[in-house]
Structure 1
C-alpha cells in the first residue's frame, strides 16, 4: 500500500461521519479515487479547563443539523472531564477530496424525504490534523515545572526530526497523571519521548482535530444537490462546509489557549 492510500484507509478519510457526544463516529465508505494533499504541521495546541461554560464548536453541528443533541448536550463519558487538560500534537495536515461512489449517488437519488434527512446528517472530513496527544488528569496537581518539561521534550524531538540534531532522553524526569490518547500512562521523559518520536516517525497517528468538514451530500454534483433541495425542501445551509476546528472530546468547559501565552502564565 503506497503512502497516499495508507493515510486514506487508516484514517478512514473516505468514510462518512456521524456526530455523537463531541466526536464523530465512522459510517461507511462514501467516496473514492480522490485528491490527497499532505503538509507538515508542527504546533502544539492546549485545551485547558475554564470556570464558566462557553459555546463549543461542536454546537454548530448539533444545532444546524438537528442532531439528537440539540440545545445544551449532557456531558457523556466521551467528553474530556472538566478537571483534565488536553494537548494535541499534530504532525501532519491532510486534505482529502474524494469522488462520490456510485452507490452513494444512487442511494441519494432513490431515498425518500425521511431517509434523505437522516443521510444529510452525515459528514466528510476534508481537512484534518493528524498526530497524537496527551491528557493531564487532575491538572491542578500537575506541577508547572513538569508541564515545561513536557513541552521541552516535544520541542526537542520535533527539532531533531526537522534538523537531525541529536538528543538524549533519560528517566530522570518523572511524571504523574500524564497519559497518551489511548490512556496509557507516561511515567518519565523516556516514555514520553518514545511516544512523541512515534508520532513524528508516523508509526502512530490518528485524527486529532477536524479543520474542515462538509455535509456528505455536498460532494454530489450540483445538479443533483439542487434537485434534492427543491424536491425535499432541504435547507441550503445543510450543504455548507464547517471550517471551525473540532477537537474530539472538547466541549463547553475547555478552551484553546495560545501556547506562548500559556507558558508565560505558568512561569
Structure 2
C-alpha cells in the first residue's frame, strides 16, 4: 500500500491543482467537525472523499458550496486564494455541488429543471433554444434521457441524477462535487451514473465524489482521500490500494504517516 502523499506524482509536478485546501478547520460550538484538513483536486481527476458517518465529509462539502464558512485555513482556486461566503459565490467561482437530494422540481420537465432561474431569451423565454441546448449538453454526457420534455417525476433514479449533474454544468464549472450520487440506485442505474462521472473527467473537470460504496470508488476514482473524526487519515492512489486498506483507514484499524502525525499534533496541543 502506498500513500499518494509519499509518492512523486509526475502530473502533479507539471500541473497546478484547480482546487487546493490547506489547514481548513470548522467547529460548531464545542464540537470540532474539521481539524486542519488538506485536499487537492486536479483538472481531469476524480477524487473520492470517504469516511464513516461523522467524519466531516458533509461539513467540508458545505464549506466548498458556500453553506458554511471555514473557521480557519486557506482555500485556493485556479491558483488564487479565495473565500466562499455563499452558494452564489461558490457557483460563480466555478464550483458546482450536486447534493444527495438533487433539488429537482418533479412537476417540471427536463428543460425547465436545467434552466430554472437561468432561462434563455431575456423577457421572452426562448423554449426552442433551451431545448436545443439541453439536448446538446445531454449528448455530450452520453446521457440516456428519452425526452427533454418529459416530467422529471417520470424518470428513473439514474436519469434524475443525470439531470441534476447536467444542470450543474450550465455555468461551466471547473470542479463538480457529487454527494452520494449512487445511493439507493440499482446496478444498471449505478453504472449509468459512473459512466457520467467518467464523462466529466474526460471534459477536464475536477470531480469530488463522496461515497460509502467502495466498489464505486475503486471503479472511477483516481485518488482516495480518507477523513476520520474530522481529520485527514490518508490519501491513496486507487490503483495502489485495496478495498481492505481503504476500510482500515476509514475505521482507524491501521496507522499511516498522516494519522500518526495528526495524533502527535493532538498530543502536543493537549500537553500545552
TM-score under structure 1 normalisation? 0.23
By percentage of residues, which structure has more helix? 2
Question: Whose Rg is larger?
Answer: 1
